[in-house]
């Protein structure tokens, strides 16, 4: 059981209950003449880790600050089927290491996932530890497509010396790192733009995707996207009603700068751990009224440009 958005206790949904969501999402992207959707911020994790993460959400863990109901609490195969039914033609499978010694376990599971789910981005994670340069280098050599880094959960700075070789490897290989470094939903000594700014000063060609548009430090992360050629931002949860209540609403005066970033803004959703229908994220972007070209680029073209339409 879990708490709903209005505080009521609800049971986790079953796949048949959610199939109308798929029809709604499909109708949305068809209306915009898209071939489907490219979602760079989707989570699939080894089952025991996924259960532990959802326990944190259910119990309003200190790094969330509030209860966070999960609409798409389904087994992996059901979630894959639902994404396919929605027309999410490419999506990530992001795990994130929260302590030393777990990244390689998570990465082994994620590698198996990528082998059996061809439309998924081959995803991996990392942590500042002595072994990081070795396993990151091996994964890059093998063809991994994206790394997820979560400094709020992991309690580390991006410019930790143990990551120096990692950033150099990723920069040279142009493998993107999707980084949760903004201070939302709960700030810590490790969040905010400062450590990413220091990393980019040393590795200006590093390919970065800033999760959640860097909420709530939107202007700071926009500036990094404007300054550095390979810094991108994802839209995950931003502009939705729930996120505006939980973190900080996106300032209207920054919308022209977001529009001007063009090909650097990518669709992200945080599926499955969202408390509203997937369609709400799409409608929230649509109601910004930044133009059909911008919307189509965010929801498909920009992801394809960065990762390719197929693996």
Q: Is the pLDDT of residue 227 over 90?
A: yes
> Residue 248: its pLDDT value, please?
84
- pLDDT band for 3, please (50, 70, 90 cuts): very low
Write out the two tokens for 89: 């033609």
> Residue 5: its pLDDT value, please?
34
pLDDT tens for residues 42-92?
A: 999 999 999 999 988 888 767 676 778 899 999 999 999 999 999 999 999
- pLDDT band for 19, please (50, 70, 90 cuts): confident
Q: What is the dihedral of CA 8, 9, 15, 16, to 10 degrees?
A: -60
Q: Is the pLDDT of residue 17 over 90?
A: no
Average pLDDT rounded to a whole number, residues 213-218? 97
Residue 209: name the closest of 261, 247, 134 by CA: 261
> Residue 4: its pLDDT value, please?
35
List Cα–Cα distances, 256 to 24, 210, 260, 262, 286, in angstroms: 29, 18, 6, 10, 15
Average pLDDT rounded to a whole number, residues 278-292? 98
| Distance between CA atoms of residues 144 and 178, nearest Å | 13
| Distance between CA atoms of residues 155 and 157, nearest Å | 7
Question: Within 13 Å of residue 64, how many CA atoms lie on the same side as its CB?
Answer: 16
Average pLDDT rounded to a whole number, residues 202-207? 98
| Distance between CA atoms of residues 267 and 38, nearest Å | 7
Confirm if 152 and 180 have CB atoms less than 8 A apart. yes
Confirm if 146 and 175 have CB atoms less than 8 A apart. yes
pLDDT tens for residues 134-176?
A: 999 999 999 999 999 999 999 999 999 999 999 999 999 999 9
Quickly list DSSP for 159-217: T-GGGHHHHHHHHHHT--EEEE-S--SS--TT-SSHHHHHHHHH-TT--EEEGGGGTT-
Residue 237 Ramachandran class (φ > 0 left, ψ -120 to 50 alpha, else beta): left
Average pLDDT rounded to a whole number, residues 107-129? 98
Confirm if 263 and 230 have CB atoms less than 8 A apart. no
pTM: 0.94
Q: Is the dihedral of CA 198, 138, 117, 45 positive or negative?
A: negative
Task: Tell me the domain boundaries of the chain.
Answer: 24-306
Could you tell me which residues come within 8 angstroms of residue 90 by beta carbon, excluding any fewer than 6 positions away? 38, 39, 119, 120, 121, 303, 304, 307, 309, 310
Average pLDDT rounded to a whole number, residues 25-48? 97
Confirm if 34 and 285 have CB atoms less than 8 A apart. no
Q: Is the pLDDT of residue 118 over 80?
A: yes
Could you tell me which residues come within 8 angstroms of residue 30 by beta carbon, excluding any fewer than 6 positions away? none
Question: How many CB atoms neighbour CB 177 within 10 A?
Answer: 24
> Residue 245: its pLDDT value, please?
74
Q: Is the pLDDT of residue 208 over 60?
A: yes
pLDDT tens for residues 259-278?
A: 999 999 999 999 999 999 99
Q: Of the CATH numbers 3.40.50.300, 3.20.20.140, 3.40.50.720, 3.40.605.10, which one belongs to the domain with range 24-306?
A: 3.20.20.140
| Distance between CA atoms of residues 3 and 126, nearest Å | 32
């Amino acid at each position: 059981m879990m708490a709903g958005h209005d505080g009521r206790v609800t049971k986790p949904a079953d796949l048949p209950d959610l199939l109308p969501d798929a029809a709604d999402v499909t109708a949305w992207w068809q209306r915009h003449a898209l071939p489907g959707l490219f979602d760079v911020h989707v989570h699939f994790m080894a089952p025991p880790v996924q259960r532990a993460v959802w326990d944190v959400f259910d119990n309003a863990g200190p790094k969330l600050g509030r209860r966070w109901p999960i609409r798409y609490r389904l087994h992996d195969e059901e979630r894959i089927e639902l994404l396919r039914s929605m027309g999410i033609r490419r999506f990530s499978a992001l795990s994130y290491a929260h302590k030393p010694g777990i990244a390689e376990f998570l990465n082994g599971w994620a590698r198996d996932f990528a082998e059996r789910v061809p439309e998924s981005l081959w995803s991996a994670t990392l942590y500042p530890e002595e072994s990081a340069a070795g396993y990151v280098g091996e994964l890059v050599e093998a063809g991994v497509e994206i790394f997820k880094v979560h400094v709020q959960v992991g309690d580390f700075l991006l410019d930790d010396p143990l990551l120096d070789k990692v950033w150099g490897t990723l920069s040279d290989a142009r493998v993107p790192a999707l980084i949760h470094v903004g201070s939302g939903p709960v700030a810590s000594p490790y969040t905010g733009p400062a450590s990413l700014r220091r990393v980019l000063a040393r590795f200006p060609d590093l390919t970065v995707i800033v999760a959640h548009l860097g909420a709530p430090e939107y202007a700071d992360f926009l500036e990094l996207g404007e300054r550095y050629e390979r810094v991108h931002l994802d839209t995950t949860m931003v502009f939705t009603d729930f996120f505006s209540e939980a973190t900080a609403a996106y300032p209207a005066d920054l919308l022209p700068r977001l529009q001007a970033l063009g090909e650097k803004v990518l669709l992200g959703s945080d599926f499955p751990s969202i408390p509203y229908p997937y369609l709400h994220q799409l409608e929230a972007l649509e109601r910004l009224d930044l133009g059909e070209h911008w919307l189509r680029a965010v929801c498909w073209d920009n992801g394809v440009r960065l990762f390719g339409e197929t693996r």
